[in-house]
Amino acid sequence: MNLSKTASLYGIRSNGGFHGDVFTSPMVVRYMLDIVGYNVNSDLRNIRILEPSCGEGEFVIEIAHRLLHSAALYHFDANEAFQRNVRAYDIDERKIEHCRKRLTDIGISPSGKNLQVANFLKCKAEKTDIVVGNPPYIRYENIPKDMRDFCRCNYSTFHYRCDLYVPFFEKTLSLLSESGCHCFICSNRWLKNEYGKKLRHLIAKKYALKMIIDLEQSDAFQEEVLAYPSITVIKADKPSNKISYGEVRKVDELPNLQISKRDIPTDDDWTNIFSSISTNDTFKTIEQQGFKIGIGAATGADAVFVSCDLPEKVETELILPSINARDLRGNQFNWHGEYLLNPYNSDGTLVDLVNYPLANAYLEQHRERLSARHIARKSPAKWYKTIDRISPNLLTQPKILLPDMSGNTFVFVDDGLFYPLHNIYYITGRSSVQLRLLAAFLMSDFVRCQLSAVTNTMNGGFSRWQSQHLRKLRIPDLNAISEKDIQQILAFYECREISSINNKINELYG
Ligand SMILES: C[S@@+](CC[C@H](N)C(=O)[O-])C[C@H]1O[C@@H](n2cnc3c(N)ncnc32)[C@H](O)[C@@H]1O
């Protein structure tokens, strides 16, 4: 079998395709060329344009068509303009060959400078007025080690567990002419996560981010892939403080896209760009409304500290019924009967095991294992402490329980019977009724949409509950809701009628 170079470089995807080989649909290509101003009715004879990873030429062929059209309108030689101004690269010789053939078929004769078989990140490239394309998405673990090392040495944005498309941004941006314009369709993860931080920083400092179009739910590619794409437009201009934002579910909605203006955040966190709701009198964050967000206790040795048999093995005053994500799977509250051994006094100091002979005997059995934990190695005398301090009063507080990555649609409220473990985020504060009201909002599309905007969704489409995301959510001000509406929402919550909750929110907030 004659594998292409990208296949051998980055490996084969689970669907049989090659990592990094996803071609852009023609509608998206046309839209992107329109928004960068490479229009059929313009005089394109002197506009330099670059496609850094052209594949079989989805962009290049449309560029050639537009150039031919423009040449006919403005009377210039399309072949000569193409040779002078169009630059496209791909690491895969077969794709470049295919692209060359497609060009020849429409009357364009590309030179060796127009279509180059090269690793774009390593080659020397010329300045350009426009960059368009769809760079390869190659996850950190699939990038060959020598390429990772090269990127780390040569690209300042190659940070943390970076994807290969990030240095493609850095290099192509650096090639923009003074008023140049850059437009990629690419995974949107860099806009939200840690590995995109340095790229966001570079753009915030040196360029003007003009537009983001979120295509996360759409069919932007020629095959179905989990790519979370966005189109971004960046100009070689002074940084601006507003950007245009839009989202579409189908690519044929692109020409009639509704655009809104959003503030560009002043720090590294750009997730608010994706949230259409800002805090005001109607909407407030969870913490602004007097709730507290936390994560359950980590022990460093759940097999010792968490177990169903603890009531038979240690003193009753040292155990707390505990709950973990497994108990809340499939929208069911199904407690497996586990307890947490709490080695702390109420003032937060460690208990003296002399006073608890049963616990002493039990923990001594596991001493070797407990002492090997990092936390115990730091203070060997406290070898039986847990990573997080355990505060028994959390047990009796009513709390919302949010198991990370559960995919649940129902949000549980515990009335003060269980102690949450480390794979559960929890919200406490105010009253049990107010927590149920908040839980109803957390189940609604109103919150789920915000959540999928600020976090990267997991495969399967559900968003993760994590404290940094919970803190950003905007919730209707609970104090401003009438008693009648509260009772209605609570009734919908108890019956798990999410669609009625959604309707009520629409009725109240539009
Ligand atoms: C996502 S595809 C996009 C192809 C085309 N731009 C499109 O939108 O249809 C990415 C392309 O990048 C190419 N590629 C991967 N690594 C590359 C590299 N280091 N330099 C240049 N091209 C590369 C692959 O061969 C593949 O054709």
pLDDT tens digit sequence for 302-334:
999 999 999 999 999 999 999 999 999 999 999
**Residue 476 near residue 505 (C-beta atoms within 8 A):** yes
Tokens of 378: 């730091």
Q: What is the pLDDT of residue 408?
A: 87
Residue 360: the pLDDT is: 98
Query: Is-contact 387 394, C-beta < 8 A?
Result: no
- The residue ranges of every structural domain in the chain are 17-264
**Cβ atoms of residues 389 and 344 within 8 Å:** yes
Using CA atoms of 256, 261, 265, 271 in order, give the dihedral in degrees to the nearest 10.
-40
Tokens of 270: 């750009």
Indicate the top mutation candidate among 5, 91, 154, 185 to test ligand 1's pocket, ranked by most ligand atoms within 8 A of CB: 91
Instruction: For residue 432, give both structure tokens.
Output: 């049990």
pTM for the full predicted model: 0.66
Structure token digits, residue 167: 């240095």
- Contact present, 48 and 178 (Cβ < 8 Å): no
- For residue 227, the CA-to-ligand 1 centroid distance in Å is 15
Q: At 178, which helix (H) or strand (E)?
A: strand 176-187
Q: Are 38 and 63 in contact, with CB atoms under 8 Å apart? A: yes
C-alpha 95 – ligand 1 centre gap (Å): 9
98-116 tens-digit pLDDT: 999 999 999 999 999 999 9
Residue 90 Cα to ligand 1 middle (Å): 6
Phi-psi category of residue 57: left, alpha or beta, with phi > 0 → left and psi -120 to 50 → alpha: left
Strand intervals (E) in 329-446: 339-341, 399-403, 412-414, 419-420, 424-428
What is the H or E stretch that residue 58 is in?
Answer: helix 58-74
Report whether pLDDT(287) > 70.
yes
Element (H, E) at 431: none
* Residue type at 333 in one-letter notation: F
Domain 17-264 has CATH 3.40.50.1220: no
Rounded to the nearest 5°, which phi and psi values hold at 456? Answer: -80, 130
The reported pLDDT for the residue numbered 6 is 57
Q: Ligand 1 centre from 91 Cα, in Å?
A: 7
**pLDDT tens across 394-441, in order?**
999 999 999 987 788 899 999 999 999 999 999 999 899 999 999 999
Decide whether any atom of ligand 1 lies within 6 Å of the 24 Cβ: yes
Protein residue closest via CA to atom 2 of ligand 1: 21
Beta strands 86-90; 115-117: pairing state: parallel
Residue 188 CA to residue 203 CA, distance in Å, equals 15
